Structure 1
Amino acid sequence: MRTPGPDDPAGLAARGWQRWWSRWADRRRGGPAPRQVRRALAAVLVVVGGVLAVLPARATGGVAVAVTTDDLPVGSVLDEARVRTESVVAIPDGALTPEQVAGRVLAAPVRRGEILTDARLVTADGPDPGSGRVAVPVNLPDPGVVALLRPGLHVAVLAVGDGTSGADAATGVETAVVTVLAEDAVVLTVPAPRESGAARLGSGAGTILLAVPAAAADAIAAHAVLGSLTVRFT
């Protein structure tokens, strides 16, 4: 009987103890089936993680509040373009919803993404002109100028004298005496659109409310009574 040599296929066959050891080692590692399950589960987790990474974050509760979409100056009228809804958990006192702020006027400047509260809006007591400023009503005689004004605009307030300062040397045209009362005033409110035509007869083009530096407030109020004020855009 021939003894199998090292190169004989029969000599390469696993012996009984080797087959037993291989099965025991596979059983310790969980065997081929558990390994395949683990690999499939790992692949699924990788796919799920990638999907979650690209999905937008969703609100998980909270209260719907009004948030500004851009930096807004004092006197801005709030509308759909300037306010969005955001759901937040920790809300400040006096936070309002978009429905509550629609059409309201800002009493102070706000930053983009700021939650709007009642302290930021003009109340029945009147608008807050801001630190160092005073709210002064001004009746402008020119309806064309009033039609161009919008809340939040910055203008200079000018007083036009009754007399003239003499003829211009180049043109010979008489020029009025103009005094700058405030270089930077902010328009808080303007007349409603319906307040036009006959409704303004006898009362000028319309009364606007300006936030002016406190030092110039008295002079502006006095000239407003005389009807000698106008504004220019800065």
Structure 2
Amino acid sequence: MKKNVLLVEDDPALRMVMREVLKDEFDVDEADNGDDGIHKGLSDTNDLIILDYHLPKKDGLQVIEAVKAAHPNVPVIVLTGFLNPDSEAQFNQLGASKIFPKPFNYRALLEVVRNLTLSASSPSEVTEVPVAPKPFVQPQLAPTETEMFADSLSTVAALAEKLEFLQSVTEKYWIEPSDISTIREAARCMENEIQSFYGKINNTLFDAGGFNSPLIRNTKKPHLSGNN
């Protein structure tokens, strides 16, 4: 019998990718916001929960706190693109089994899900205690530059996730009819993310007028030929 995995993620494209990765070995239920994540997470049918940090309505910290209060032994995997040391410490204190920074390797995620569901069904097995990461130094950037930098990292991470998924689909010996619609949807989501990112950058530059930021001014302009 397949184990039950609850996937709490607000990005529909990322949910689609992870569902495709997990569906052969697990029954996957989904929630796209923190409120639904708590509601479904309180069910005693979940063998494991995969949880995004940044969620609408309630964030990942609120979700894991509610779920662990009701089901302390259910493994929880946290996904995040941006995590500061305080939030990471809170997730670990609340009982997160694993934290995956985005972008992540889907095969590695599948392997961790396999191991954690097996460990949860074997009470005698000792759960590995996560090692606290080294603190990082936050770059000192102006507010506008910080927002641009965060948006660029978020966009690159989202694109990397979908490219890895597309690679896993196209590496198969044959393409199934259902794969075609999956590839098209992933490509559409990638296009939307790129358009959204550059839309934000354009708005920032226009609003600033004579934008004279060192971050932009010192950036090398791309060329059609030569070293890029």
TM-score when normalising by structure 1 = 0.19
Q: Return the structure number with greater helix share.
A: 2
